[in-house]
Amino acid sequence: MFKSAARSHIGHLRACNEDSFIENIELGLWLVADGVGGNVHGDFASQVVSQTIERKIGLETTLTQAIKGAHSTVIKLGRDKPDIAGMASTVVAAHLKGTHYEICWVGDSRAYVINSQTGISQLTVDHNQAQYLVDIGEISPEEARLHPTQRILMHAIGINDDDWTVGHVEGDLSPDDIILLCSDGLSDEMDDVEILSAFQQGYSLDAITDVLLEKALNKGGSDNITLILVALDKQGKNVSEPDASLELEQTGTQQKAYKYADKRPLTFTVAGFITVLVIIAVAASGF
């Protein structure tokens, strides 16, 4: 029913990859999480978020509730372990059933729907200060892309503020539509026109991910870059196209929380299997 392809790269400037992703065709779940690098332990936070959401979707929780559960888990971990208090992550996730998709997000990781014939549409709205300035009419959407507040988050998983919210959008895919999920390492380097051009050559999903990643790296690669493409498989099969070139670095980290989190890097590695054990322990306590 579905086919997908994913890539993740550390980029040119970061000391570690704080992104993580899930590509689970059997659950109809795909997500990208981006650890907030200005706090503490961002790579660990993104793994906790990814694995908690996947587990909850496997238990038939709604996507919104799964993300809220991940938020509670990250906050509880910070309360129980002061040395990792304040860790945070963004997330964007797609849950597909048949042709119907549901997309939820917190932060500035994005979802687009792309059709090589009809164009590109951004489905998500960034939870950052630049978007807030757009919303109140202080700057234009074009100015927001390069505005200094573009990297200052209003909401993130693990940052407990009064206005915290999960963004949500639903729709139906046509046979020629492709969903793109990505961290800001891709969207900060490439505008909509540049992204769309990669889809107009008739390439496979696997080849398109390589093209997008290469372009983002060539334009600077100043942050970790993670992207997933999801489409309907016209042959009725579930196909996860192999990552032939670049592997996701599974590192774990967390970070110090502010009302507004500045996404700057900090290196702190925690073994991936510890992440799983911690999530299981937290889940057993009722979250």
Q: CATH number for the domain including 76?
A: 3.60.40.10
pLDDT bracket for residue 276 (50, 70, 90): very low
Average pLDDT on 119-139 reads 96
Q: Which two tokens stand for residue 224?
A: 């970790």
Structural domain count, the chain: 1
pTM of the model: 0.84
Q: Which 8-state DSSP code applies to residue 16? A: S
Confidence band of 151 (pLDDT split at 50, 70, 90): confident
DSSP 8-state code for residue 120? E
Q: Give me the pLDDT at residue 215, please.
A: 98
Q: What is the pLDDT of residues 188-232, one digit of tens each?
A: 999 999 999 999 988 999 999 999 999 999 999 999 999 999 999
pLDDT at site 241: 59
Q: Provide the pLDDT for residue 77.
A: 95
Q: Mean pLDDT, the chain, as a whole number?
A: 86
**Residue 92 pLDDT > 80:** yes
Structure tokens at 211: 């093209």
Rounded distance between C-alpha atoms, residue 233 and residue 143, angstroms: 38
Domain region containing 49: 2-284
Alpha-carbon separation of residue 221 from 13, 186, 226, 260, 282 (angstroms) = 7, 8, 11, 24, 35
